[in-house]
Amino acid sequence: MLQVDKHRNAYTCGLLAGLYGLLFGWDTGMIGGLLDSASFQHSFALPSGSQSLANFKGNIVSTLQAGCFLGAASALLLPDRIGRRKSLILAALVALAGTAVQTCCAVGAQHPEQALVQLYVGRSIGGFGVGLASSVVPTYIAEIAPKESRGQLSCSFQLFVVTGMMIAFFVNYGLSLRFGAASQDPTEWRVAFGLQALPALLALLGTLSPYCPESPRWLVQHGSQDLARDSLRRLHKSSEDVYVADLLAEISCDLQGSADPGLKAACREMLTDRMTLYRCLVPAIVNFLQQWTGVNGVNYYSPQIFRTLGLRGRSTGLFATGIYGVVKVTTTFLFMCLAIEQLGRKWCLIIGGLIQCFCLWWIGTFLAIAGEDPARHKGIAYLTIAMLYLFVIGFGLGWSGPVWTVSSEVPPQRLRALAMSLGTMSNWLFNACVARATPNMLASVSDAAAL
C-alpha cells in the first residue's frame, strides 16, 4: 500500500497518457457501424454493387491507417527532438483538427465526390494524430512507470483502446435506434464523427495537467539534470533526496551521460550487431503478427460479419458488436491484472494465439458447411457467434496488451523510441492492409475462405 501511495502520481500519469488509447479505439470502432448506415451511404453516394461498395469501404477505413502510418513515421524524429509530452500534445491537437474536418465534410460540397475527398482528408489528418500518439505513449509510459508495475501500466494503453472501441460500438447502436435503419439524415454520422473530439480533449487536458511531466529519461538524455530531478520528484511523490538521486543515477548510468544520438546515429547503433537489431525489430514483428490475427478485420466490419453468421437487422448487428466490445474490455482488464505478470508475456501470446486460431477455424468450417443461410442451423449458428466472442477473449489474453508491453520492454532503452516507431509503423501498415482487404474478401470470395 505504501508503494502504491509513493508512486501514485506515476500511476496517474500512466493512466492519463493511456487516454490516447481511448482516441485510438474510438476511431477504430466507430467507422464500421457508419459504413452500413443509409445516411452515410446516401451523403457520400456510395455505390450499391457489393464489389464497388466493398472498394469504397476499404478506402474509407484505410485512409485513417495511412495517416496513422505517417504519424508513426514522424515519431522517428519528433519525440526525441521536442520531447514525449509535447509530442502527445501535438498528437491531440492534430486529432482534433481531423475530427473537425470529418464532422463538417459535405457542408457546402456541390457533389458527393467532393464530400468524399473531404472525408479522406479528415481521416488522414486524424490518423496522423492517432499514429503519433500510438508510437509515443508506450515509450512515455515505460519511461515514467515504476519497474514493478511497468507491464500493467503499458497494458493500460490497450485497455483504453478497447474501451474506446466499446463506447464507439454502443454510440453507433444508440444512433441507429434514434434515427432508424432507413434514415438519410446526415446528423447521424456527423454526431458520430463529432464525438471523436471527446477522447481527444480528455487526452489533451490530461497531458496538460501537472500530473504529466516530461520523461525524466528524455530530460537526462538532453542534459537537463535539474529538470529530470524535479520530474522524478513529481512522479514518485518523494521528498527523499536519496531515493530520487538513486533513480537519477540509474538513468544517467544507463545512458552513460550521452546526449540524444539523433536518428542517423540511432540507426547505426541499431545495426551494430545482430542482437541489438533483433531487439529493435521485435516491436515490428509482434505488431505484424497482431494485425494478421485478423482482429481488426472483425473490429472494422463486425456488423457485416455478424450478419454473415445469421444475425439479421442493422440494430441487432450493432448491438452484438457492442457486446463484443464489452467482452473485449472485460478480458483485457482481467488478463492485465491476472495474467501479464503471472503467466509472462511469451505464454500469454502463445495461448491467446492458439485460442484465436481455433475460433477462426471453427467459424470458417461452419460457414463452409452452412452455405448461404447459416440461420437454418440455429443451435450451431449461436455456438459459432459465441466462438467470435471466444476469439476476442483469446485476443485479450495474448495479442492485446502484451504486444505493447513486449514492444516497450525488449528494445535497448537508448533505442526505445526508434524501436517503438518501427513497431507502430508496422502496426499501421498491416492494419491498413487488413482494413483494405477484408471487405473485398467478404464480397469476392466465400465467407468461409475469408474468415
pTM above 0.75, yes or no: yes
Question: In this structure, what C-alpha cell is assigned to residue 128?
Answer: 496522423
56 touches 47 (CB < 8 A): yes
CATH of domain 2-450: 1.20.1250.20
As a whole number, mean pLDDT of residues 261-271 equals 78
**DSSP single-letter state for residue 376:** G
Query: What is the per-residue pLDDT for 126?
Result: 93
3-state secondary structure of 120: helix
Query: What is the per-residue pLDDT for 239?
Result: 57
Q: Taking CA 381 as the corner, what is the angle to CA 379 and CA 385, rounded to the nearest 5 degrees? A: 120
3-state secondary structure of 430: helix
Query: What is the per-residue pLDDT for 1?
Result: 38
Characterize 29-58 residue by residue with b for buried, 16 or more Cβ atoms within 10 angstroms of its Cβ, and e for exposed. Answer: bbbbbbbbbbbbbbbbebeeeeeebbbbbb
As a whole number, mean pLDDT of residues 28-41 equals 82
Query: What is the per-residue pLDDT for 44?
Result: 83
160 touches 20 (CB < 8 A): yes
Concatenate the DSSP letters of all residues of 161-230 into one string: HHHHHHHHHHHHHHHHHHH-TT---THHHHHHHHTTHHHHHHHHHHHHSTT-PPPHHHHHHTT-HHHHHH
Closest of 395, 363, 383, 385 to residue 319, by C-alpha:
385
141 touches 18 (CB < 8 A): yes
Query: Is residue 224 classed exposed, middle or buried when 0-12, 13-18 and 19+ CB atoms within 10 A define those classes?
Result: middle
As a whole number, mean pLDDT of residues 383-399 equals 85
Stated as kind and residue range, the H or E segment containing 444 is helix 416-444
Closest of 159, 163, 162 to residue 141, by C-alpha:
159
As a whole number, mean pLDDT of residues 191-213 equals 91
105 touches 134 (CB < 8 A): no
**DSSP single-letter state for residue 343:** T
pLDDT 10s digits, 421-435: 888 888 888 888 888
Question: In this structure, what C-alpha cell is assigned to residue 343?
Answer: 503467466
pLDDT 10s digits, 116-170: 888 999 999 999 999 999 888 888 888 888 777 776 777 778 788 889 988 988 8
Looking from the CA of 45 toward its CB, the CA atoms found within 13 Å total 10
